[in-house]
Amino acid sequence: METKNVHVPGPEGKTQDHSLAALHARLDQLSADVTYLVERQRKIDDFLDDFGPIAKAMLNSTASRLDGYEKRGYFEMGREALGIVERVAEGFTPDDVRKLGGAVVGILETVRELTQPEVLKVASEAASVLQNAEEAAPIGIVGMVRATSDHDVQKGMSVMVEVMRQVGRAAAAVRDKRAASPMGQKKAKLDAVLGRRMGTQKSALGVERTLPPRPREAASKIAAPASKGPACATPAAPAATATVLDGVGFSADGHMTDASQWTRELGQKIATMQAVDMTDAHWKLVEVARKDFESTKTSPNIRRLTQITDVTTKDVYALFPKAPARTLAKIAGLPKPAGCL
Amino acid sequence: MNASQNNARRVAIICSHGGLDEAYPSLILANAARQSGIDAFVFFTFWGLDVITESKLDHLHVNMVGNPSAPVPTMLAGLPGMESLAGSMMMKQMKELELPTVREFLQILDEAGAELYACELAMKMFKREKKDLAKEVKDVITAGDFYDLAEGAQIIFT
């Protein structure tokens, strides 16, 4: 600052004077800068003085926290996680990963669905129940049945059933897909070659047990009469001869006891006694009835008649208004129709 | 078939239950009567209306609860769907025996000249109309009408 007062006279004095002034200005600028820097340094020093203990404390706490994490196994877990990633990389081909890419959206959607607040609430409530499980009173079958009358339980059951249904559907879809895949077909072929039992996928979901063959006696007992002949009718034992008219035996209820003795003339006589005016339609039914008796050894009832011919129940009643099947059997020289149809 | 005029035998059958096992006796009795030359008419009342209700007659059920002859214990008989299962099983067995279905039976009865009637009071109770019934049903009548019709007939209640 003393330089300010130095004055150098000379011919070039004016120019020297001029450069000196410039130098002066620069020095002034420098001095201001230095002052600013000094001030800043002081502020930083102040700050560091203040910050030092804080930083130290922070460092300490970070270190102890990391130490805690280490103790709790976070890093171990991280290392393990890396291992998992490695294993994933080993176990999956790029193709799998590409496929997975498509599924990621689905997975994320599932996660989003699962993390909806209401879903989480349900889960947390269910979890709280499980936590208090030891306080729950044991119930038996009766208690369980009684509980089903509770509205909430009913709702829960409905939800469970729906979940099970969806899981079952998904499982079936997966099974079908696997069976249809080239790998599944290969496996099936291999199983066939090795003679492994097919259809019993023991390791798969939905193992279907094969039931031991049930004795079909009960069913065959019921079916037996049906296979022998017309419905609800079993061949009756020939009725005892009660009266003999013109050498032809009749039972007590008016039926001929021996169908082979029948002639058309005899039939006509019986018809007249029964007050039936015989027409071609009547005789046709008589023939049908006699033919059916030959094959089944049973006098046909109305249902049987409608089944083996194209006449309707109405027609049969029109032809023989009173007790059609019985009248017909009498005229045709057959025993009384058995069964109740 | 002017039965009262020629003094022929007549039966009036009252069918008051709608189970498959309870419907058949009425239908078979009525049919057997006609086959034996006996005039028959059937009066369907209360649950028996189901037997002639168009929307129900094809799937009548069998009640197993409280039935000591049921093939399953009463404990199990009350399980949901049991009467429906029993009904379909019984229908299957009837089919094996070539028994007519309820619908066929109604038609057979109609063709055989048996008369089918529905109870008016029960119809009101179950909020059914004549058009809800099978076409074989002749009329909707009251209990008083029933007695008029049943004059001189043997009455069978099932």
Check CB contact of B73 with chain A, cutoff 8 Å. no
Residue A60 lies in a domain: yes
* pLDDT for the residue numbered A7: 52
* pLDDT for the residue numbered A48: 80
Residues A58 and A102 occupy one common structural domain = no
Residues A19 and A60 occupy one common structural domain = yes
Residue B115 has pLDDT above 90, yes or no: yes
ipTM of the complex, rounded to two decimals: 0.84
Residue numbers of the domain that contains B62: 3-157
Residue numbers of the domain that contains A260: 240-331
Question: For residues A14 and A22, what is the distance between their CA atoms, to the nearest angstrom?
Answer: 13
The total of other beta-carbon atoms located within 10 Å of residue A309's CB is 16
CATH code for the domain of B108: 3.40.1260.10
Residue A76 lies in a domain: no
Judge whether A319 and A285 are in contact, CB under 8 Å.
yes
Residue B110 has pLDDT above 70, yes or no: yes
Residue A324 lies in a domain: yes
Residue-wise pLDDT tens digits, B74-96: 888 888 888 888 888 888 888 88
Residue A137 lies in a domain: no
Which residues in chain B have their CB less than 8 angstroms from residue A326's CB?
A: 35-37
Nearest Cα of chain B lies from the Cα of A129 at a distance, in angstroms, of 30
Check CB contact of A303 with chain B, cutoff 8 Å. yes
pTM as predicted: 0.52
Residues A58 and A123 occupy one common structural domain = no
Question: For residues A26 and A32, what is the distance between their CA atoms, to the nearest angstrom?
Answer: 10
Check CB contact of B1 with chain A, cutoff 8 Å. yes
Residue B114 has pLDDT above 50, yes or no: yes
Nearest Cα of chain B lies from the Cα of A239 at a distance, in angstroms, of 18
* pLDDT for the residue numbered B4: 44
A313 vs B36: CB contact, 8 Å cut-off?
no
Check CB contact of A230 with chain B, cutoff 8 Å. yes
Which residues in chain B have their CB less than 8 angstroms from residue A223's CB?
A: 96
* pLDDT for the residue numbered A237: 62
Closest CA to A259 of A330, A309, A321: A330
Closest CA to A299 of A257, A271, A263: A257
Give percent of chain B above pLDDT 90: 65
Residue B2 has pLDDT above 50, yes or no: no
A222 vs B32: CB contact, 8 Å cut-off?
no
A317 vs B37: CB contact, 8 Å cut-off?
no
- Number of domains forming the structure of chain A: 4
For A312, the closest of B36, B111, B113 (CB atoms) is: B111
Residue A316 lies in a domain: yes
**Average pLDDT of each block of 10 consecutive residues along chain A (341 residues)?**
49 66 88 89 85 80 79 75 76 73 78 82 83 82 85 89 91 84 76 60 52 50 43 61 81 87 90 90 92 90 89 91 90 87 76
Nearest Cα of chain B lies from the Cα of A219 at a distance, in angstroms, of 8
Check CB contact of B6 with chain A, cutoff 8 Å. no
Q: Are strands A248-250 and A243-245 parallel, antiparallel or unpaired?
A: antiparallel
Name which residue leads in pLDDT, B67 or A207.
Answer: B67
* pLDDT for the residue numbered A278: 92
Which residues in chain B have their CB less than 8 angstroms from residue A340's CB?
A: 28, 31-32
Residue B5 has pLDDT above 80, yes or no: no
Residues A50 and A103 occupy one common structural domain = no
Confidence label for B49 from pLDDT (cuts 50, 70 and 90) = very high
- Number of domains forming the structure of chain B: 1
Looking at every residue in chain B, the average pLDDT score rounds to: 89
CA atoms within 13 A on the CB side of A124: 7
A197 exposed, middle or buried (CB, 10 Å; 0-12, 13-18, 19+)? Answer: exposed
**C-alpha separations of B75 from B64, B67, B78, B102 in Å:** 10, 11, 6, 29
